[in-house]
Amino acid sequence: MMPPPTDHALLDAARRGDRSAIDALLERHQARIYRFGMKMCRNPEDAQDVLQETLLAMARSVGDFREESSISTWLYSIARGFCVKKRRKSKFAPERLGSLETDIPAEVHRLLDPRRLPDEELADKELQEALEKSIDSLDPIYREVLLLRDFEGLTASETAEALGVSLDAVKSRLHRARLAVRSAMAPLVSEEEEKPAPGGCPDVLTLYSRHLEGEIGAAVCAEMEKHIAACARCRARCQTLKQVVALCRANPSEPVPEPVQQSVRAALRRLLPASP
């Protein structure tokens, strides 16, 4: 069985007017770019524009693509630029555009057991609403880092490249975003009361987030584990952060609505046959 063609092979074929290559590229990348646009722009029409403009820009500038970058990192970088432009154009619009009902809730429900009891379903509903609100309340510079790292699965280095910022900036923003989301969701995912920290408690949440990024050494990690084993409060706090990160990483991409696919495909087909 022949392996599927690489992104680079599909891009070359698409520039020669191969419509099957266009379709393959759409299938491979459109869902993640569309989801990123939805979460950053908070508007389906803007997300469609971001997806279309991103793929058109990809087609126009494929000759300038640097081989040391992955196609997905490059596309997120392009998409992020269009998201920033959308935010600037919408500066007089309300900060929030309502519920993320077309985005996060459908994805969170995939994690839920359909055999759950009514009381459990109500708890899941509260959990999904807390996730929506916590992500929606993040400043865009923190939201985009959380989305790329914990939702889309880019490495910290790839996230830095996509956003055009330093690796240190990515890690700092990521830790802050994770802790903000955890704080908003803690009352629903933790049975341990949020008590004042005892005098000897370290900042276990930041340490745990840094541990996920491989930033702390074995000695510090061992000390943190020792403290958590003896401190129920810190153990519960770390568990809530672990649950939040796992919930973010379990989110699959939503299918792009068929009308959006048709619009984007038509725009690409108008462009590509005319490409040299």
- Is residue 129 pLDDT above 70, yes or no? yes
Q: Please, which pLDDT band fits residue 64 given cuts at 50, 70 and 90?
A: low
Quote the distance between the C-alpha of residue 56 and its chain's center.
22
Which token pair is 240?
């809530």
Is 104-253 the same fold as 7-100+257-270?
Answer: no
Q: Identify which has the larger pLDDT, 221 or 63.
A: 221
| Least confident window among 14-23, 41-50, 81-90 | 14-23
Contacts of 25 (CB under 8 A, 6+ apart): 7, 10, 11, 14, 55, 58
- Where do the domains of the chain lie? 7-100+257-270, 104-253
C-alpha to C-alpha distance for 100 and 109, rounded to whole angstroms: 13
Fold classification of 104-253 (topology level): Arc Repressor Mutant, subunit A (1.10.10)
Fold classification of 7-100+257-270 (topology level): Rna Polymerase Sigma Factor; Chain: A (1.10.1740)
C-alpha to C-alpha distance for 98 and 136, rounded to whole angstroms: 9
Contacts of 137 (CB under 8 A, 6+ apart): 180, 184
- Cβ-based neighbour number of residue 190 at 10 Å: 17
Cα angle 256, 257, 260 (rounded to 5 degrees) comes to 90
pLDDT of residue 62: 67
Q: Please, which pLDDT band fits residue 96 given cuts at 50, 70 and 90?
A: very low
Contacts of 271 (CB under 8 A, 6+ apart): 56, 59, 60
Instruction: Kindly state the average pLDDT of the residues 158-162.
Output: 94
